[in-house]
């Protein structure tokens, strides 16, 4: 366990060409990360969702998510399960008790960041399947993701920050749903953790949007997710893929 691994981080930068025209330049930069200084957080990977379309897409990702979690854990990365609104289910889990017992560390003042509007409209709730009724349908994390005693469980940003800061963890890999809502907006997720100075990376192929193609910008669901991922790369944090992460974690230098 422990050691270092190298992943490629994709981001986008607003540049100006020789003719004075603005354009977005995509870059892929390899970066070396210490496993003992890193955590992998699963955002709202619930057992069920009120949207049938959301359920179908999450269920399709679960085997790959489980593979990434097990590989990251074996490499010495701290696993954080963050299924919002389900802490009562986990109150007796050692992974939950560990977070509750951790000394509280006051986060630093928020770093100011530009926060432009999202590129997709989810104002009608974002479901792409008819007949769905919005409600709290979840009671736990998806059972396809194993939780071990050495993991952590929390849906509170200050708890998560205290646990990570107390362990000297400054790198936070995030996967889960939904990219344009919870993955950006939860107190333990991208925007707040970036504002608190964490080095955040989104695993871009293990996420999904709540987006209905009947709404602006009137593109298919996969394209809506791609637009949100690119928005994150432009304004919030870089991204990587599960393939790149698994390759890196399985390399001989993570031992």
168-203: pLDDT as tens digits: 999 999 999 999 999 999 999 999 999 999 999 999
Q: Residue 216 has what DSSP assignment?
A: T
Q: Is the pTM of this model over 0.85?
A: yes
pLDDT for 109 beyond 60: yes
Q: Read off the tokens for 33.
A: 């990360």
Tokens for 59, please give them.
């269920």
pLDDT of residue 120: 97
**Tens digit of pLDDT for each residue in 73-97?**
999 999 999 999 999 999 999 999 9
Radius of gyration (C-alpha) of the chain in whole angstroms: 18
Q: Which of 5, 85, 19, 27 is nearest to 230 (CA)?
A: 27
- 3-state SS, 109-131, equals CCCCCCCCCCCCCCCCCCCCCCC
Residue 6 CB burial class (10 angstroms; 0-12, 13-18, ≥19):
middle
Distances (CA, A) of 102 to 78, 86, 106, 148, 168: 14, 19, 12, 17, 13
The owner of tokens 């809502």 is 181
Query: Where does the pLDDT of residue 125 fall: very low under 50, low under 70, confident under 90, or very high at 90 and above?
Result: confident
3 state SS of 252: coil
Q: Which domains does the chain have, with CATH numbers?
A: 4-111+135-249 (3.40.50.850)
- Strand, coil or helix: 42: strand
80 near 40, Cβ under 8 Å?
yes
Contact 172, 240 (CB under 8 A): no
- Integer Cα distance of 11 and 139 in angstroms: 35
For the stretch 17-49, pLDDT in tens is: 999 999 999 999 999 999 999 999 999 999 999
pLDDT, tens only, 211-240: 999 999 999 999 999 999 999 999 999 999
Query: 157-166 and 94-101 are packed helices; what angle lies between their axes, rounded to 10 degrees?
Result: 80
The Cα 138–Cα 183 span in angstroms is: 17
Q: Quick one: the chain helix, strand, coil %, rounded to 5?
A: 30, 25, 45
Q: pLDDT-derived band of residue 150, with 50, 70 and 90 as boundaries? A: very high
| Residue 135 DSSP symbol | S
């Amino acid at each position: 366990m422990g050691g270092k691994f190298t992943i490629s981080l994709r981001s986008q930068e607003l540049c100006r060409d020789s003719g004075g025209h603005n354009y977005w330049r995509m870059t892929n930069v390899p970066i070396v990360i210490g496993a003992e200084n890193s955590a992998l957080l699963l955002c709202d990977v619930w057992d069920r969702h009120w949207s049938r379309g959301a359920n179908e897409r999450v269920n399709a990702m679960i085997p790959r998510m489980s593979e990434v979690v097990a590989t990251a854990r074996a490499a010495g990365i701290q696993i954080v399960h963050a299924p919002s609104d389900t802490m009562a289910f986990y109150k007796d889990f050692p992974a939950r008790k560990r977070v509750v017992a951790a000394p509280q560390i006051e986060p630093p003042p928020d770093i100011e960041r530009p926060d432009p509007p999202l590129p997709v409209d989810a104002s009608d709730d974002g479901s792409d399947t008819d007949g769905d009724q919005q409600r709290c349908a979840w009671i736990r994390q998806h059972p396809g993701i194993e939780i071990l005693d050495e993991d952590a469980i929390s849906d509170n940003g200050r708890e998560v920050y205290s646990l990570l800061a107390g362990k000297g963890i400054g790198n936070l890999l995030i996967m889960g749903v939904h990219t344009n809502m919870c993955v950006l907006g939860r107190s333990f997720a991208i925007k707040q953790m970036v504002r608190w100075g964490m080095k955040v990376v989104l695993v871009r192929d293990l996420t999904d949007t709540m987006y209905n193609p009947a709404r602006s910008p009137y593109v298919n669901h996969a394209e809506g997710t791609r637009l949100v991922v690119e928005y994150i790369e432009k304004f919030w944090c870089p991204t990587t893929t599960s393939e790149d992460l698994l390759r890196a974690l399985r390399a001989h230098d993570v031992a």
